[in-house]
Structure 1
Amino acid sequence: MRSLVAASALTALAAAGCASTNTPTPATTGAPAPTSAPSAPGTAMPPGMSMSPGMQMPGTATQAAGPSATAVMVCGTEIQQDVTKILALGSKPATTSSWADHLYTCTYHLPTGPLVLSVKESPDTATATAYFDALRKQLGVTTPLTPAQSLGNPGYESAGGTTVVLKDGKTLRVDATGMPAASGPNQLSRSDLSYEIATDILGCWSE
């Protein structure tokens, strides 16, 4: 089943196409801007709201740089299209995003429940690995992904529907625990759904 999910993910990825993420500036890479401007820790801005150029919200001094273009991609056009296709939605899903403690979170507000994608940006390999390992303990029982399944990166998944992969100091987490037991025309389990979305994102990051 997992091999079929991986093949489906690659097909969706090829159909949607991905913007390059070789540089951190969305304007030069083609990576979409955040659906909401980087916000103060613990806050999220709803779709359609943005901060004016030069405007800074209280308490954002340490996060003024905002998330990287790579992180923002989880809430961007390509992944929105993938989610729409995988779940056979009639239109792109509504999303909200937040940026706090170097964690970029994008929540897809789907008719059947929330799908939460997040990227933790760590300053070095040791810090990234520590976060990756701590998250694994937090999730409880997990199963490691093979190198082929995670495109050569360390990764694991929980039976409840969370897939986590570490790549280049960024910890990607796709949480489908709020989704139904079976989703979309292919009746994907929560685990398969989270894995398929994670694979799509990794494919974009690898371009």
Structure 2
Amino acid sequence: MPERPKHLRSRLLWTAGVLLVALTACSPDAGPAAAAPTSVPVGATPESATLMVCEKEVEEEVAEALGLPTSQPLTSTWVDGLFTCAYRYGDAVMPVSVKQLPDVRSAEAYFAQQQAAATNPVPFQELGDAGFATNNGSTFIRKDRFVLRVDVSKLPDVLGPKDTPRNHVGIAVASVIIGCWVEGRKVTAPAASAAPVTSSAS
């Protein structure tokens, strides 16, 4: 395993506080963390755990973590088992996506494929079942049969009034979402500003 750069170690330590906030904020209702069958067919619509990345409460928690609300309504797409929610900050956009797989083995294979395709990925174990950061600060996390990606490649070097470095943003947002997945809750409602999901046939 490659040695972690100092900047990655520092942002993982910084993330502990964000994750604690996320776990406190998420309600304990039964939800994505509940036990699932070994294999689940990928349906025509995203599941609760997948939709959570565009949920109003998650949007608010991300805003709290970054000290910055989105500047435009959230929009989402659903294509071939990949749900993507676009968080916009001025002219910059941060796609947050979840790949929904039928079973853990499929999720492991997809995660491994994404890691192999990344440039100089740095693995870590602090969030979910497995994770890695890319050289542009983006974050991939696998949890059960879902793979989360927070793509910060189009963000400025620092973001928001807290001057959060771009390479901290991916970990911070992933921490909020994984915290809610681990705690488990029902999806209450999509973000008030979110557009309807669009889909594409496989």
Which category describes the TM-score, using the shorter chain as reference length? Answer: 0.7 to 0.9
C-alpha displacement at 1:71, in angstroms? 0.6
Secondary structure, aligned partner of 2:68: coil
Distance in 1 between the 2:27 and 2:72 partners? 18
C-alpha displacement at 1:9, in angstroms? 1.1
Q: What residue is the counterpart of 2:195 in the other structure?
A: none
**Equivalent of 1:80, from 59, 68, 76?**
59
C-alpha displacement at 1:137, in angstroms? 2.1
Distance in 2 between the 1:19 and 1:156 partners? 27
Comparing 103-112 and 1-10, the one that deviates more: 1-10
Q: What residue is the counterpart of 1:120 in the other structure?
A: 99
C-alpha displacement at 1:134, in angstroms? 1.0
Distance in 1 between the 2:147 and 2:122 partners? 16
Secondary structure, aligned partner of 2:158: coil
C-alpha displacement at 1:136, in angstroms? 1.2
C-alpha displacement at 1:82, in angstroms? 1.9
Conserved 8 A contact 2:66-2:169: no
1:104 aligned onto 2:83? yes
C-alpha displacement at 1:3, in angstroms? 4.5
Distance in 2 between the 1:16 and 1:184 partners? 21
Distance in 2 between the 1:69 and 1:9 partners? 22
Residues 74 and 21 (structure 1), Cα distance of their counterparts in 2 relative to 1, 3 Å cut: farther
TM normalised by structure 2 equals 0.73
C-alpha displacement at 1:2, in angstroms? 2.0
C-alpha displacement at 1:91, in angstroms? 6.5
Conserved 8 A contact 2:62-2:176: no
C-alpha displacement at 1:7, in angstroms? 3.0
Q: Kindly provide the amino acid, as one letter, of the partner of residue 76 in structure 1.
A: E
| RMSD value, Cα | 2.5
Higher relative contact order (CA 8 A, sep 6+): 2
Distance in 2 between the 1:67 and 1:6 partners? 28
Secondary structure, aligned partner of 1:150: coil
Q: Which runs of 5+ in 2 are unaligned?
A: 1-9, 34-40, 184-202
Q: Which runs of 5+ in 1 are unaligned?
A: 25-61
Q: Kindly provide the amino acid, as one letter, of the partner of residue 109 in structure 1.
A: R
Distance in 2 between the 1:19 and 1:110 partners? 30
- Figure out how many residues of one structure are paired with residues of the other and give that number: 167
Trace 1:66-77 onto structure 2 (pairs within 5 A): 66-77=45-56
C-alpha displacement at 1:63, in angstroms? 7.3
Q: What residue is the counterpart of 1:17 in the other structure?
A: 26
TM normalised by structure 1 equals 0.71
